Amino acid sequence: MKMKFPVEAFASIETPFYYYDVDLLKATLDAVKREAAKYEGFHVHYAIKANYNHRLLEIVNQAGIGADCVSGGEVRAALNAGIPAGKVVFAGVGKTDKEIALSLDAGIFCFNVESVPEIEAIERLAAERGVVAQVAVRVNPNVGAHTHANITTGLAENKFGVNYEQLDAVIDVIESMSHVKLIGLHFHIGSQLLVMDDFIALCCRINELQELLVETRGLVLPHINVGGGLGIRYDFPDRYPIPDFEAYFATYANNLKLHPGQQLHFELGRSLVAQCGALITRATYIKNGTCKKFVIVDAGMNDLIRPALYDAYHRIENLTSDKPDEVYDVVGPVCESSDVFCKDRRMPSTQRGDILAIRSAGAYGEAMAFGYNCRELPRAVLSTDI
């Protein structure tokens, strides 16, 4: 099933806007559910950071998928969309008292904790409320993911998690507390990973660690959370509209040694929503430079920052021209030289008014939009609106 664009309807919609193909989203959610359900005790949480659009969250909730949140705002967004608190996990190195309190009051499933001071804050706030908070310690597995440096999170030098050497002491602290209960371990090595080897490396580290915990402390925890990170094909969105969830879950099933009854949690963001979304924009001007031709579009880096921030590749399609190709830089109107969506890209000859789709933008697109230059935030149009 590939993404469909109702180009005629787009003609009367003001650009730029994010367009989401609900059929493709639902097919993707069905696929992830189906593949995870092949294994006993596999649970999928949607990493809301990828896209917190309320209507998409409702669809995620209808599919019965939980939520992975990294702020109080995301916890609220998950609950507002109807996601049960019992399926919400809350991660992040800098949880404030206010965010912790909100999550305790809602009764979320688990806090992924990253430091002793944070655990102390949770203990204090949980004691005030007379509740017990369930926590999983985020362990920094020191596994390098082969992806962009800015989205690698599992190296010792990254700010995330508790290092191996500190883990024992952190568990001691938790065990000494009465309002915090250790229920699991949490890991995440990075994002946009397309080779399963990185996940296999993570499985090996978790296996070692689990063995060590049994040997040294006789400790078996009921939950393991391996984070997210499954990548998508930005180069061929129509050939690979739905990520290979089968291979992904099989990798964990085949390489991770779970104890009997141990539950395995996943926090998938990009792979669930990226391919069903595109940023739709119009060509405002075609400009001939001395050595380049520019298509200046009405979307900017404030609408989709990935190319400027990570040098990320997104396919760009002209939905209204099938003329012979020319070579263009597609750029936005924002006053920054990095406001460039692509350079030296071959695409059909483009004219003012043509409608372009910047593909695979459903994840970390709308969610990362901002208002620089007093630009309006991009709106969202769902296929079901048309």
Residue numbers at the binding site for ligand LLP (CB under 6 A) = 47, 50, 68, 91, 151, 153, 188, 191-192, 227-230, 267-271, 306, 310, 364
- Cis peptide preceding 378, ω within 30 of 0: no
We find the least distance from the C-beta atom of residue 308 to ligand LLP, in angstroms, to be: 11
Between residues 153 and 318, which has the closer beta carbon with respect to ligand LLP? 153
**Nearest alpha carbon to residue 52 among 310, 365, 339:** 365
We find the least distance from the C-beta atom of residue 129 to ligand LLP, in angstroms, to be: 26
Residue 157 is classified by DSSP as: T
Between residues 87 and 306, which has the closer beta carbon with respect to ligand LLP? 306
We find the least distance from the C-beta atom of residue 312 to ligand LLP, in angstroms, to be: 7
376: number of Cβ within 10 Å: 11
Residue 291 is classified by DSSP as: S
Residue 373: helix, strand or coil by DSSP? helix
Between residues 114 and 298, which has the closer beta carbon with respect to ligand LLP? 114
Between residues 36 and 283, which has the closer beta carbon with respect to ligand LLP? 36
Task: State both tokens at 86.
Answer: 């019992």
Between residues 132 and 221, which has the closer beta carbon with respect to ligand LLP? 221
175: number of Cβ within 10 Å: 12
Q: What is the CA radius of gyration of the chain?
A: 22
Between residues 110 and 283, which has the closer beta carbon with respect to ligand LLP? 110
We find the least distance from the C-beta atom of residue 74 to ligand LLP, in angstroms, to be: 12
- Phi, psi (degrees; rounded to nearest 5) at 110: -160, 140
We find the least distance from the C-beta atom of residue 384 to ligand LLP, in angstroms, to be: 24
We find the least distance from the C-beta atom of residue 176 to ligand LLP, in angstroms, to be: 26
Between residues 16 and 269, which has the closer beta carbon with respect to ligand LLP? 269
We find the least distance from the C-beta atom of residue 386 to ligand LLP, in angstroms, to be: 27
Between residues 95 and 188, which has the closer beta carbon with respect to ligand LLP? 188
Which residue reads 């962009």 in tokens?
148
Cross-strand pairs, 282: 355
Question: What is the rounded CA–CA span in Å between residue 98 and residue 117?
Answer: 15
Of how many residues is the chain composed?
386
Residues near 209 by beta carbon (within 8 Å), at least 6 away in sequence: 139, 141, 164, 167, 185
We find the least distance from the C-beta atom of residue 142 to ligand LLP, in angstroms, to be: 15
Residue 131, amino acid:
V
Question: What is the rounded CA–CA span in Å between residue 329 and residue 292?
Answer: 7
